[in-house]
Amino acid sequence: MTAATSLSIEAKPGLRVSALLQLPPKARACYVLGHGAGAGMAHAFMADLANALEARQIGTLRYNFPYMESGSKRPDPPALCHATVRAVVEEARKQAPGMTLIAGGKSFGGRMTSQAQAAKPLPEVRGLAFVGFPLHPAKKPSTERAAHLSEVKIPMLFLQGTRDDLADLTLLEPIVQKLGASATMKRIEAADHSFHVLKSSGRNDREVMEELADTIANWIARL
């Protein structure tokens, strides 16, 4: 695997965040990959996904949101998260010129990216990939968090576990269908929000990771 290159990116004047660029020599695309609310860019899931994508010639630019950078557990206000997403996308454009650029991420990172895109298109980003879109808090089914998705005018990929407590698929699937042909949803059987599977499913987490990476790579190839 290619060793990840550490970067420092200015999220806003006077405020910088860490990032990890993992770009294989023959990369055909770069994925700006935001982390979930409770774990930063170096979390094992993020690293495993970056490695699995590298094996498919997909580069990644992982990054921390400012609250994670400072060690806080309280997520930043949306406006700061959106500014961070924009800053990292700009860095990806510099680091991976001419490559197909996609953005999104795990849970919270994906939702902040979609909000940023809905407010104002992210330059050169061809599509958004959500690794577990957090439709609602656990045990509180609702659809308000998806309201902005109709303002996203580029292709979207939703990778969703069938045991995800943060996304009731009976609510999310109709939303994705209503978004039209540009939105695709892939059900990851027996996976929860962290994409863990029970032993009784007959699958393991490594197989799930391979399915996630295959799905993202194939979707990028169709963009």
User: Contact 132/195 with Cβ under 8 angstroms?
Assistant: yes
Cα(199)–Cα(155) distance, rounded to whole angstroms?
34
- 183 burial (CB, 10 Å; 0-12 / 13-18 / 19+) is middle
Q: What is the pLDDT of residue 27?
A: 96
Residue 13 CB coordination number (10 Å)? 6
108-119 and 78-95 are packed helices; what angle lies between their axes, rounded to 10 degrees? 90
Q: Walk along the chain (223 residues) and give the pLDDT tens digit of each residue.
A: 888 999 999 999 999 999 999 999 999 999 999 999 999 999 999 999 999 999 999 999 999 999 999 999 999 999 999 999 999 999 999 999 999 999 999 999 999 999 999 999 999 999 999 999 999 999 999 999 999 999 999 999 999 999 999 999 999 999 999 999 999 999 999 999 999 999 999 999 999 999 999 999 999 999 9
The token pair at 181 is 């042909």
User: Would you say how long the chain is, in residues?
Assistant: 223
**CA geometry: angle 75, 78, 79, nearest 5 deg:** 130
User: Of all helices (H) and strands (E), which one includes residue 184?
Assistant: strand 183-188
CA distances to 97, 102, 167, 184 from 172, rounded to whole Å, are 34, 22, 7, 11
Q: How far apart are the first and last CA of the chain?
A: 25
C-alpha angle 53/59/65, rounded to 5°? Answer: 100
Domains along the sequence of the chain with CATH: 5-222 (3.40.50.1820)
Among candidates 63, 61, 64, 66, which has minimal Cα distance to 14? 66
Identify whether the C-beta of residue 220 lies closer than 8 Å to the C-beta of residue 100.
Answer: yes
Q: Would you list the DSSP string of 40-74?
A: -TTSHHHHHHHHHHHTTTEEEEEE--HHHHTT-SS
